[in-house]
Structure formats: structure tokens, C-alpha cells
């Protein structure tokens, strides 16, 4: 009679059933393993699922670990699934995600103020796709509107381990433009035009 599954089996099973990346704390909690055991097991799984020898890879994304198909097998997987790729994101969607990533969490009104156009339809689409989520409320504003932030799905889709993997806003936008954006965000009195 055996004493139960080993550490590798436990971590592997948890990663297999999770649709989202699993952080170290959740792996420790689910498996009952110590921190060092979880880290050693993840290192062993990286070897087992090396991209050169496996159709499955262990990814470190969005602050956690996730089993995923090897990108080199994408063509076969897509043929098998017979699914069309999701429609590419529009430039408006990229703008809204950038607002949430760099200036967020923001309300829908804040996103619209920064962009200068009503962004409700774009925000709804991004919420439906799981790239944006409500991350609290702005209790200082009338009606306590929801605050929007990028999700772990967004981080995973971009291959980022965290928000820190993106370049600093100051390196992308000049100080004058950044001041204009912050001014629009601070004074959103007039309703913007629709997209």
C-alpha cells in the first residue's frame, strides 16, 4: 500500500484543473506542501514539461504557474478545436486597457474622460472577454461607480507575470501629454461623445 501521491503529482494535479495561474500560496494551501517543496516541484515540472520535449509547458504568468499547450503545437491544437480565433482587439479596446493598466483602477467615466469619447461599449466587451474586471468602487463619487482594472487573464494573454513587466508610463508618454491626460481625468464634467 502506498502513502498517497507524491509532491510532483499533487502540484501537477492542481495546476491541471485550474483555468487560471496558481500562485505559490495557493499551491501550498491546496497540497499541504512546504514552500521549498513547492518550489522544488515546480522546478522538476519545468524540466518534465520542457518546450523542446513536451506538448505541454509550465508557464510563469500573472504571478502564478499554469500548465498550457506548447506554442509550437498551436497549429495542431487549433485544427483539433476547430475554433475561430477571437476577433482581434480594436484600437479603442487597446486604449481602454492602457487606461486601466496605467491609470487604473478607473471608473467607466474616468476611462471615457481620458479617451475623450464614451467608452461604455468597449468596456462591456472587455468585461465580457475577461480582460477587465470590477476591482472595487469609487465611494467618493456619486453613486459609487465600479472601478475597473486589468485582470489576470489580461496578464496571462500578454505573457506578463505582473503589471511591473510593462514599461513605465513616463517612458511612453511625454510629461505634457501625461499632464493633459491627468487633467482630463480630474475634470470630467461634460459627457463625452459616443464611439
d(Cα 20, Cα 169) in Å, to the nearest integer?
Answer: 27
| Residue 91, C-alpha cell as written in the block | 484600437
Query: pLDDT above 90 covers what percent of the chain?
Result: 50
Q: Which segments within 2-119 are labelled E, that is strand?
A: 56-61, 64-69, 117-118
**Average pLDDT score, the chain:** 87
More confident: 195 or 150: 150
Architecture of domain 91-194: Orthogonal Bundle (1.10)
Give the pLDDT confidence of 42-56 residue by residue, as tens digits: 999 999 999 999 999
Q: Do domains 7-81 and 91-194 have the same CATH topology?
A: yes
Give the per-residue pLDDT at 187: 66
| Residue 57, C-alpha cell as written in the block | 509547458
Contact 184, 192 (CB under 8 A): no
| Domain locations along the chain | 7-81, 91-194
Give the per-residue pLDDT at 86: 67
Q: What is the CATH number of domain 7-81?
A: 1.10.10.10
Query: pLDDT band at 15, cuts 50/70/90?
Result: very high
Which DSSP letter does residue 140 get?
A: T
d(Cα 162, Cα 33) in Å, to the nearest integer?
Answer: 25
Amino acid at each position: 500500500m502506498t502513502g498517497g501521491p507524491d509532491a510532483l503529482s499533487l502540484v501537477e494535479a492542481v495546476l491541471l484543473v485550474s483555468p487560471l495561474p496558481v500562485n505559490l500560496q495557493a499551491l501550498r494551501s491546496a497540497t499541504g506542501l512546504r514552500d521549498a517543496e513547492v518550489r522544488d516541484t515546480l522546478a522538476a515540472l519545468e524540466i518534465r514539461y520542457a518546450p523542446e520535449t513536451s506538448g505541454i509547458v509550465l508557464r510563469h504568468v500573472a504571478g502564478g504557474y499554469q500548465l498550457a499547450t506548447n506554442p509550437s503545437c498551436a497549429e495542431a491544437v487549433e485544427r483539433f478545436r476547430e475554433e475561430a480565433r477571437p476577433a482581434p482587439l480594436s484600437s479603442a479596446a487597446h486604449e481602454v486597457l492602457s487606461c486601466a493598466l496605467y491609470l487604473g483602477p478607473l471608473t467607466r467615466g474616468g476611462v471615457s474622460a481620458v479617451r475623450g469619447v464614451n467608452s461604455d461599449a468597449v468596456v462591456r466587451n472587455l468585461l465580457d472577454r475577461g480582460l477587465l474586471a470590477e476591482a472595487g468602487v469609487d465611494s467618493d463619487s456619486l453613486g459609487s461607480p465600479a472601478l475597473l482594472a486589468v485582470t489576470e487573464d489580461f496578464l496571462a494573454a500578454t505573457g506578463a507575470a505582473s503589471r511591473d513587466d510593462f514599461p513605465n508610463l513616463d517612458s511612453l508618454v511625454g510629461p505634457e501629454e501625461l499632464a493633459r491626460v491627468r487633467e482630463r481625468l480630474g475634470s470630467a464634467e461634460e459627457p463625452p461623445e459616443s464611439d
